Amino acid sequence: MPSLKDLKNRIESVKSTRKITKAMQMVAAAKLRRAQEAAEDSRPYAKRFNAVMASLAASVGDSDAAPKLLRGTGSDQVQLLVVMTAERGLCGGFNANIAKLARQKATELKAAGKTVKILTVGKKGRDALRRDFAADFVGHVDLSEVKRIGYANAQGVAKDILTRFDAGEFDVATIFYAEFVNVVTQVPTAQQIIPASYEGGEAEESSAVYDYEPSEEAILADLLPRGVSTQIFAALLENGASEQGARMSAMDNATRNAGDMIDKLTIEFNRSRQAVITNELIEIISGAEAL
């Protein structure tokens, strides 16, 4: 049974921890608002961009004149998995869920005889996958010094991926991130970015006919690299909002658990103190009776 001093120290320690988790919850809540606004503001642009690209891709089809980023290499033997997670932990299952989805995909591809290469964006994803796939790592992007994600960060990641594609290092590239739904729900998502795959969306519903100048092939050749950057930027923004939402939820749970633990320890402390006082009274009474 712990002594009164030990119980008192534990109570003070848990109270200090509760202060920290409460502060982290408030900081995450403040950051979440900005991150959520950024993610939601990017969605209409990304949706419309994808609709235009879908229309252009449908016009070009799978012809030899189509840009390589659209038609691909003609093979899917070498797969590049771009795993985007946070640089920090203490955000519940956010990082683990993304890494789990990437691990499942890598395992399936290897079982099918494919070659897997992994590029990580964020330290937590690298740490989670290093144990099983260290030999498959081809690069890492460190964003720990970045205070606020910008389009330039996405361009840097996209440039790295496009350079590897032009060098023939892989055939298919897929990004892994968490789509933000709300504070308690972040959905791990896998999205193929090379070869470019665009849903019809609004382009299929539109009956308008467009004439493009210059040709669709020339426009696609210019827009497809930007499309890769746009998709990566949107994924980074979704990740940012998801991370703060998950951290806010996790710190709220930690604060509540700390409060419950303090209540239990306080009850145990009071019972122990009462037992000590009772024993002292018994000793005093017994000594008095002996006299």
Structural contact between residues 276 and 1, judged by C-beta atoms closer than 8 angstroms: no
Q: Quick one: average pLDDT of 269-287? A: 84
Main-chain dihedrals φ then ψ at residue 243, nearest 5 degrees: -60, -50
Q: Which pLDDT value is given to residue 222?
A: 83
Residue 209 exposed, middle or buried by CB count within 10 Å (0-12, 13-18, 19+): exposed
| Residue 58 pLDDT > 60 | yes
List of domains in the chain: 34-248 (3.40.1380.10)
| Residue 281 pLDDT > 50 | yes
Structural contact between residues 50 and 223, judged by C-beta atoms closer than 8 angstroms: no
pLDDT tens-place string over residues 80-101:
999 999 988 889 889 999 999 9
Q: Which pLDDT value is given to residue 206?
A: 47
User: In the predicted model, what is the mean pLDDT of the chain?
Assistant: 87
Q: Which pLDDT value is given to residue 204?
A: 46
- Residues forming the active site: 91
Q: Which pLDDT value is given to residue 208?
A: 55
Q: Which pLDDT value is given to residue 191?
A: 92
| Residue 13 pLDDT > 90 | yes
pLDDT tens-place string over residues 188-211:
999 999 888 776 544 444 445 666
Q: Percent of the chain at pLDDT above 70?
A: 93
